[in-house]
């Protein structure tokens, strides 16, 4: 049988067919370089297209530089464009070869065709080779005086490029003065805009060292210059209009009549089709009228229609950007938008990020007149197939209730949600019912009647379970089964991984015990015993506090745990008014989209040298403390490096707190006297255990020596962390001096490096910091130690997780690691 014929695959035109392809191109280009035969330009085009396609996919074709330059001697503008693109790409990396292009570029700068003159000048300025600066000055001077506007426009930006290559050459040639004259006298609007853009950047950079540049920058904000731009604003492109409007926004008018003049000149910009121009105009209006309360309110009324029009037109991304600015205005003046609430109803085809923003706005504009319609609409979203939107809708309904609008109807709606038998709806509703009861305790009877029918086994989310436990403890007198539900939860203590739930459970059981002691004493004893043996420091401390409080005086314990309750009038806002004002000052910028001032995501001093984002799970990864490279996403798995303590605690190790308590066994009902001795409390709660025998002395592990020059790349670290099992988990307290020292995390990293423990990744900001360290034993081909250290300066706690290739030495390394932290002043 004959072998099957091999399938022939056609070569991609963007990939070379062999190693000799580039060499073949070189030969063909050289043959065409001096040819003047008909059709030569067409042949050159095909070859140039191949060269550019190879260059685009990353193939090195720099060896064709000479041939490409020789073939550029043509009047075909398409060929020249491709040649300029090629030259600009390889000139910076090959400065010697770039010198070959100077002659033909300077020659093209004197061409009769203005398009070729402009393209050549742009390419000449894009070479970015400092040694060739002297060749730029002449063509730039000629370009600024060219009779064609396109060439002048290119030359204006070329001056800025020259400034970034060699600022001294730009200033010595007096190009800023030439740009200023061109800006104030040129008839072409785009040339004026380019001159303004270049001058703003040059004078801003020069202002710190030159008084003249500082004066010139201030002169841009003078009345004649501002009115000159305003009178010509209709001639500018959309980009240029935004540039001018940004400049006008910095201008301080002398009186109110001047404010009205500027607003009248810009009135028609509010109807512009481009969203950026509209937002820039709105920013000018808002900032000009900040000191004029009545006019400022009229501005809000005036800008509503343009913004709502932009939201409903254009792409979803544009709608989100405009909606974010509208959201900012709604939060500042909700009453002015209360009649337009229907514009914020969610559409079925909108993405979730737009819907979430609209839900926040519906919550903000709710008042007595529109609450019923808004809540009815929000209740429809609870059945949305998008779980996140359903959750946000429930949260929005509860937030409106907390604003004291139509509370009766809203509480009834929330209680109906509990009957929907959807886990996420029940979870979100329980959290809101808890908040409502804190503010409206008079509704406890209706709420508890419904909440009492919910099985704790059906509530799995930590926040929801914590809310349910809080209600069981707070209203234990109204819920007949409360002691028994709490007892079943205590029995499953070890299965509960959330520290938040365990903390609430301790408090709820104690509250229930103080109100119904005979039914709850067994559960309280078991809860205190489990809490004292808990590995989480906060849980252990709270259990110990309650135990000692009961030992001291039960009446005092009741006053501490069950004080007279006052309804919560105002819940804390997540964002301060100062932050909101700062965002408003940065209207029409990314600050509005991120809902945080620009310094929070651009200022390195504010962010610190380590960038960390809990939402994105990104860390700044570096092989040393001094060289921190860009953030890299770490893939999540069962041993996720980025999970915080509250997110994952399944690797909890046995506690070293020395507790010898175990779950008590107690059968009987004893009424609680007003005061009891310490021994009586132990007996009552089933904690009267004999003292534990003194532990046998265990010899300390031998000290180990570490390799000071050990190295480990981030990829290997990540792989090892996922493969190795947890060797040791410890939680320790840090002293205030150590917490203060963490204001400069690099100091800790340098200190640990001095002890041969290297940091490979770190992140966070006050009060949460996370560090990943590695170390290696000094022996040749020894294994590595990997460490995750999570520090919370507010609670003064540090959690240390250690993984090792050789687990038998983990204890010795842990002692060495903690010793290094102690020397830094942490422990």
User: What are the tens digits of pLDDT across the range 690-737?
Assistant: 444 444 444 555 678 888 888 888 888 888 888 888 888 888 888 766
Among residues 572, 591, 621, the one where a domain terminates is 572
The distance of Cα 445 from the centroid of its chain, to the nearest Å, equals 42
Among residues 572, 592, 617, the one where a domain terminates is 572
Same domain assignment for residues 728 and 798: yes
What are 447-459's pLDDT values in tens digits? 888 887 787 778 8
Closest to 248 (Cα-Cα) out of 236, 237, 262: 262
Q: Is pLDDT above 70 for 428?
A: yes
Q: Is pLDDT above 50 for 247?
A: yes
Q: What is the mean pLDDT of the chain?
A: 80
Same domain assignment for residues 778 and 794: yes
Q: How confident is the model at residue 684 (pLDDT cuts 50, 70, 90)?
A: low
Same domain assignment for residues 534 and 583: no
This prediction's pTM: 0.65
Q: State which residues form the domain around 554.
A: 479-572
Collapsed DSSP state (helix, strand, coil) of residue 9: coil
Residue 719 belongs to a domain with what CATH number?
Answer: 3.30.310.10
Residue 454: predicted pLDDT? 81
List % helix, strand, coil for the chain (3-state, nearest 5).
Answer: 60, 5, 35
CA angle 789, 493, 684 (to 5 degrees): 120
Residue 669: predicted pLDDT? 36
Counting residues of the chain whose pLDDT is more than 90, the rounded percentage is 27
Q: How confident is the model at residue 140 (pLDDT cuts 50, 70, 90)?
A: very high
- The answer to whether position 737 is within a domain reads yes
- The answer to whether position 797 is within a domain reads yes
Say how many CA atoms lie within 13 Å of 167 toward its Cβ: 13
Same domain assignment for residues 560 and 598: no
Same domain assignment for residues 755 and 806: yes
Same domain assignment for residues 818 and 713: yes
Residue 627: predicted pLDDT? 38
- The answer to whether position 128 is within a domain reads no
Number of structural domains the chain divides into: 3
Question: Averaged over 605-622, what is the pLDDT?
Answer: 42
- The answer to whether position 730 is within a domain reads yes
Same domain assignment for residues 502 and 554: yes
Counting residues of the chain whose pLDDT is more than 70, the rounded percentage is 84
- The answer to whether position 788 is within a domain reads yes
What are 362-400's pLDDT values in tens digits? 988 888 888 889 999 999 999 888 899 999 999 898 888
Same domain assignment for residues 514 and 542: yes
Same domain assignment for residues 579 and 493: no
Same domain assignment for residues 731 and 801: yes
Same domain assignment for residues 579 and 510: no
Q: Is pLDDT above 90 for 278?
A: yes
Distance, CA of 417 to CA of 395 (rounded, Å): 12
- The answer to whether position 490 is within a domain reads yes
Paired with 732 in beta bridges are 798
Whether a cis peptide bond, with omega within 30° of 0, leads into 767 is yes
Residue 681: predicted pLDDT? 65
Among residues 554, 572, 590, the one where a domain terminates is 572
Residue 702: predicted pLDDT? 63
Question: Averaged over 280-298, what is the pLDDT?
Answer: 91
Closest to 49 (Cα-Cα) out of 82, 91, 27, 88: 82
Residue 636: predicted pLDDT? 34
Same domain assignment for residues 598 and 533: no
Strand positions, DSSP E, 527-601:
none
Distance, CA of 774 to CA of 560 (rounded, Å): 45
- The answer to whether position 777 is within a domain reads yes
- The answer to whether position 137 is within a domain reads no
Q: Which helix (H) or strand (E) holds 729?
A: strand 728-733
């Amino acid at each position: 049988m004959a072998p099957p014929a091999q399938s022939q695959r056609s070569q991609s035109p963007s990939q070379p067919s062999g190693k000799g392809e580039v060499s073949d191109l070189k030969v063909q280009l050289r043959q065409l370089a001096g040819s003047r035969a008909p059709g030569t330009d067409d042949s050159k085009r095909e070859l140039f297209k191949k060269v550019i396609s190879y260059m685009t996919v990353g193939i090195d074709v720099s060896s064709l530089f000479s041939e490409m330059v020789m073939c550029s001697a043509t009047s075909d503008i398409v060929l020249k464009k491709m040649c300029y693109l090629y030259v600009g790409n390889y000139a910076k990396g090959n400065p010697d070869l770039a010198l070959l292009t100077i002659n033909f570029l300077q020659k093209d700068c004197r061409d009769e065709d203005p398009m070729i003159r402009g393209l050549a000048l742009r390419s000449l300025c894009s070479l970015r080779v400092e040694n060739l600066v002297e060749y730029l000055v002449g063509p730039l001077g000629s370009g600024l005086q060219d009779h064609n506007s396109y060439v002048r426009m290119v030359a204006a930006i070329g001056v800025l490029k020259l400034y970034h290559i060699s600022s001294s050459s730009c200033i010595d040639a007096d190009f800023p003065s030439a740009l200023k004259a061109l800006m104030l006298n040129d008839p072409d609007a785009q040339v004026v805009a380019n001159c303004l853009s270049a001058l703003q950047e040059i004078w801003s950079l020069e202002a710190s060292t030159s008084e003249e540049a500082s004066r010139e920058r201030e002169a841009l904000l003078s009345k004649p210059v501002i009115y000159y731009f305003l009178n010509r604003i209709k001639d500018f492109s959309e980009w240029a209009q935004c540039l001018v409007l940004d400049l006008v926004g910095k201008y301080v008018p002398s009186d109110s009549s001047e404010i009205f003049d500027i607003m009248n000149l810009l009135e028609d910009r509010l109807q512009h089709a481009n969203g950026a121009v509209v937002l820039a105009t709105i920013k000018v209006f808002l900032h000009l009228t900040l000191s004029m309360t009545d006019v400022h309110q009229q501005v809000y009324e005036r800008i509503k229609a343009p913004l709502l029009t932009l939201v409903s037109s254009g792409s979803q991304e544009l709608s989100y950007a405009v909606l974010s600015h509208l959201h900012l205005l709604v939060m500042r003046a909700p009453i002015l938008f209360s009649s337009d609430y229907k514009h914020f109803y969610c559409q079925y085809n909108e993405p979730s990020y737009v819907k979430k923003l609209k839900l926040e706005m519906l919550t903000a504009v709710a008042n007595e007149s529109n609450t019923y319609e808004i809540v009815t609409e929000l209740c429809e979203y609870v059945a949305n197939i998008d779980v996140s939107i359903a959750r946000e809708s429930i949260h929005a309904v509860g937030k409106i209730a907390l604003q004291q609008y139509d509370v009766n109807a809203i509480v009834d709606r929330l209680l109906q949600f509990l009957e929907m038998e959807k886990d996420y709806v029940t979870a979100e509703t329980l959290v809101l019912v808890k908040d409502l009861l804190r503010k409206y305790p008079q509704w406890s009877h209706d709420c508890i009647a419904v909440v009492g029918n919910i099985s704790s086994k059906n509530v799995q989310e930590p926040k929801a379970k914590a809310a349910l436990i809080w209600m069981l403890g707070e209203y234990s007198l109204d819920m007949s089964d409360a002691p028994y539900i709490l007892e079943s939860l205590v029995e499953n203590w070890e299965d509960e991984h959330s520290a938040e739930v365990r903390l609430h459970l301790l408090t709820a059981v104690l509250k229930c015990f103080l109100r119904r002691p005979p039914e709850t004493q067994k559960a309280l004893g078991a809860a205190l015993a489990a809490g004292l043996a808990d590995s989480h420091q906060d849980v252990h401390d709270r259990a110990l506090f309650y135990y000692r409080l009961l030992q001291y005086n039960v009446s005092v314990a009741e006053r501490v745990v069950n004080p007279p309750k006052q309804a919560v009038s105002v819940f804390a806002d997540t964002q301060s008014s100062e932050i909101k004002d700062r965002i408003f000052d940065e209207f029409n910028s990314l600050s509005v989209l991120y809902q945080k001032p620009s310094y929070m995501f651009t200022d390195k001093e504010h962010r610190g040298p380590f960038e960390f984002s809990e939402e994105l799970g990104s860390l700044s990864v570096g092989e040393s403390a001094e060289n921190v490279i860009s953030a890299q996403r770490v893939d999540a798995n069962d041993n996720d490096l980025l999970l915080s303590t509250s997110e994952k605690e399944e690797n909890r190790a046995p506690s070293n707190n020395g507790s010898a308590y175990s779950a008590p066994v107690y059968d009987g009902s004893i009424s609680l006297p007003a005061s009891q001795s310490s021994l009586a409390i132990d007996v009552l709660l089933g904690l009267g255990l004999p003292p534990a025998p003194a532990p046998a002395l265990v010899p300390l592990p031998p000290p180990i020596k570490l390799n000071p020059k050990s190295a480990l790349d981030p990829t290997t670290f990540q792989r090892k962390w996922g493969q190795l099992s947890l060797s040791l988990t410890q939680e320790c307290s840090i002293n205030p001096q150590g917490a203060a020292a963490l204001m400069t995390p690099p100091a800790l990293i340098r200190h640990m490096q001095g002890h041969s423990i290297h940091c490979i990744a770190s992140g966070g900001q006050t009060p949460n910091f996370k560090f990943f360290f590695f170390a290696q034993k000094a022996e040749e081909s020894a294994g590595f130690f990997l460490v995750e250290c999570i520090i919370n300066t507010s609670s003064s706690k540090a959690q240390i997780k250690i993984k090792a290739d050789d687990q038998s030495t983990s204890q010795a390394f842990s002692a060495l690691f903690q010793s290094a932290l102690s020397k830094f002043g942490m422990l």
